[in-house]
């Protein structure tokens, strides 16, 4: 979370963050780490976090609702001018509002 707090100035950490994100896969025991990685990438934002978009897009449809919601949010933070990305995000985020998880609904 420290890298997330640093934000854009932590851009040099994007490569290792993406690499670690890809290693976590969908494993349940790695979910807290995955959430922190996704959040940090979103807070770092453009242009440095742009290489993370492919990995984040793969998580947009994750069965893990929190990963999907955070990945959608992070993608929008990294690529804020992409209208197509926003159009794709609205249904994914609206689906999160119906989640049984209060945390997902609040995100």
Retrieve residue 46's tokens. 């453009």
pLDDT tens sequence across 28-42: 788 999 999 999 999
The pLDDT value recorded for residue 6 is: 95
| Backbone φ, ψ for residue 39 (5° rounding) | -60, -45
Retrieve residue 8's tokens. 């854009």
The pLDDT value recorded for residue 101 is: 84
Confidence bin at 43 (pLDDT 50/70/90)? very high
3-state secondary structure of 16: helix
pLDDT tens sequence across 51-103: 999 999 999 888 888 999 999 999 999 999 999 999 989 988 888 888 888 88
The pLDDT value recorded for residue 93 is: 84
């Amino acid at each position: 979370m420290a890298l997330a707090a640093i934000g854009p100035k932590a851009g040099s950490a994007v490569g290792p963050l993406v690499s670690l994100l890809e290693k976590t896969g969908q494993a349940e025991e790695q979910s807290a780490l995955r959430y922190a990685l996704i959040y940090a990438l979103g807070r770092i934002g453009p242009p440095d976090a742009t290489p993370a978009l492919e990995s984040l897009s793969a998580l947009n449809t994750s069965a893990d609702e929190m990963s999907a919601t955070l990945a959608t949010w992070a993608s929008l933070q990294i690529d804020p001018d992409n209208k197509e990305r926003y159009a794709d995000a609205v249904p994914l985020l609206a689906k999160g509002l119906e989640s049984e998880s209060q945390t997902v609904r609040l995100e």
